[in-house]
Amino acid sequence: MTPSPIPSSVLTAAGLVGGYATARFTGVRPLGGAVLAAAGVAAGRTWVRAGVPQTAALAVIYFGAFGLSHPLAKKIGAWPSVLTAAALAGCASHILADSVVAQDSRG
């Protein structure tokens, strides 16, 4: 299985931001969830190459960031919460997967 040409960190952040934006602007929450899930699956293609522990950790981080953005939004607002969650999950994905896969591909 080849990883996506788009880094998983970008897909992770885009999934959280895009899922929220889709749900907010269309008013269809399941559609936002579909965007979130599709980006997670696409990012997961790279996560799997990094290893099973990394994949499990990143799945928990990704969906945990989604879940925790809701109560955080009550404290700092919706968009700041989503952007914070996206940044943290994207950074984790870069550290735990993208850099590992890039290192392995260099030899």
What pLDDT digit, counting tens, does each position of 9-24 carry? 999 999 999 999 999 9
Is there a domain that residue 3 lies in? no
Backbone φ and ψ of 78, nearest 5°: -65, -55
User: Is 80 exceeded by the pLDDT of residue 5?
Assistant: yes
Is there a domain that residue 102 lies in? yes
Is there a domain that residue 1 lies in? no
Number of domains in the chain: 1
- pLDDT of res. 4: 57
Q: Is the dihedral of CA 87, 61, 82, 77 positive or negative?
A: negative
Owning domain of residue 58? 8-106
Is there a domain that residue 2 lies in? no
Is there a domain that residue 77 lies in? yes
- Give residue 1's pLDDT band: very low, low, confident or very high (50, 70, 90): low
Whole-angstrom distance, CA of residue 35 vs CA of residue 29: 10
Q: At what angle do helices 78-93 and 8-26 cross, to 10 degrees?
A: 160
